[in-house]
Structure 1
Amino acid sequence: MEKLQYPIGAFECPENITNKHVNKWIKDLELLPNRLSALVENLSAEQLNTAYRPEGWTVRQLVHHIADSHHHSYTRFKWALTENKPMIKAYEEKDWSELFDAKTAPINLSLDYLIALHAKLVYLLKGLSEKDLEKKFIHPESKVEIILKKNIGIYAWHSNHHLAHIQGLLDRNGW
């Protein structure tokens, strides 16, 4: 079950985040919309409504979750760049995934949104200075300060984590 839930493992942040790490993570974010589209574009409605693991989200919910989550991340970057260690707003991702749109909306709504969102996000991230990458925000639940260069890694991992969920389902079911 652990392998189904965390197919690439948990995010492990390097102790010393280098420009090489940041550039690789930005590349992962840049590639996400096309990689995700390629995985799901030929799936049937039944396949899209299949959970990637027992008691997990469906592929449809995952696609919409990625768009919702990365939308929040983009906003968090902007807050951290324009405010001094802002306390971000958390959101209840599990509750969002239970809303009717996450369960029923066509996935192309989120796929198209991710293309635009990631174009903006990647453009922003590629333009950040070393000083910008050191800026932080505070998560309201843990009260932990998150440095922006680490947040890039977290969302690159998040992208690959959910791609692996979908790829694993496709492989297990021979789709």
Structure 2
Amino acid sequence: MHKPEPAAYEHYYRAYIELVDQEPILEKLESLKNSTFKLLSNLTDEQANHAYAPGKWTVKQLAGHLIDAERTFAYRAFAFSRGQAELPGFEENIYVERANSNDRPIQDLAAELKTLREANLYMLRAMTPQQIETHGIANGHPIQVNTIVYQMAGHEVHHLNLLRDRYGIY
């Protein structure tokens, strides 16, 4: 897989894709799987129940959002690679509200995210070059499977940066 050129995707994907360096993307996803798991699973529930400001997500809710996004990005990549033409968007705040992440141990959330990523890496490694280049429409906007894979990594990096910068979690 190759890092998509900015002209190949909608401008609002740029913030995530620019966070991904030139490391091969599947290696980057593997690395993130391990580092994010280590970071989240080493937190206490007290740390994970923290929100950096009123009305903001707790660390557990942020972890739940990473799980929701991982599922969503992976399903988009899967569906488009198999010929599905269009999929709806998802309202992240409604998903977070209904996920009940605050009622779960942070270690369970960390393990679920790691397991999802492992399964998704199997799926991505099995895709042919033609499937990786397939396009679909997500949330009303055209996107290529390759771009979704980079979006998956960049989205995670974005939230890891928030954990560091706003939550004080390294």
Bin for the TM-score computed over the shorter chain: 0.7 to 0.9
Alignment gaps of 5+ in structure 1:
1-8, 14-19
Q: TM-score, normalization: structure 2?
A: 0.78
Alignment gaps of 5+ in structure 2:
1-13
Change (3 A) 1:27 1:55: farther
| 2:143 partner SS | strand
Match of 1:89 in 2: 88
C-alpha separation in 2, matches of 1:159 and 1:80: 21
Identity of aligned residues (%): 25
Match of 1:110 in 2: 109
After TM superposition, the structure 1 = structure 2 runs for residues 135-146 of structure 1, keeping only pairs within 5 Å, are 135-140=134-139, 143-146=140-143
By how many angstroms is 1:80 displaced?
0.6
Match of 1:164 in 2: 161
RMSD of aligned residue pairs (Cα, Å): 2.4
CA contact (8 A) 2:51 2:59 kept: yes
CA contact (8 A) 2:65 2:92 kept: yes
Give the count of matched residue pairs.
154
C-alpha separation in 2, matches of 1:28 and 1:156: 7
CA contact (8 A) 1:29 1:159 kept: no
Match of 1:17 in 2: none
Worse overlay, 159-168 or 121-130: 121-130
The amino acid across from 1:157 in the alignment is G
C-alpha separation in 1, matches of 2:52 and 2:39: 13
Change (3 A) 1:46 1:97: same
The amino acid across from 2:43 in the alignment is L
CA contact (8 A) 1:33 1:111 kept: no
Q: TM-score, normalization: structure 1?
A: 0.76
By how many angstroms is 1:127 displaced?
2.9
CA contact (8 A) 1:39 1:167 kept: no
C-alpha separation in 2, matches of 1:67 and 1:52: 20
Match of 2:151 in 1: 154
Match of 2:97 in 1: 98
The amino acid across from 1:137 in the alignment is G
CA contact (8 A) 2:87 2:138 kept: yes
Worse overlay, 62-71 or 122-131: 122-131
Change (3 A) 1:100 1:78: closer
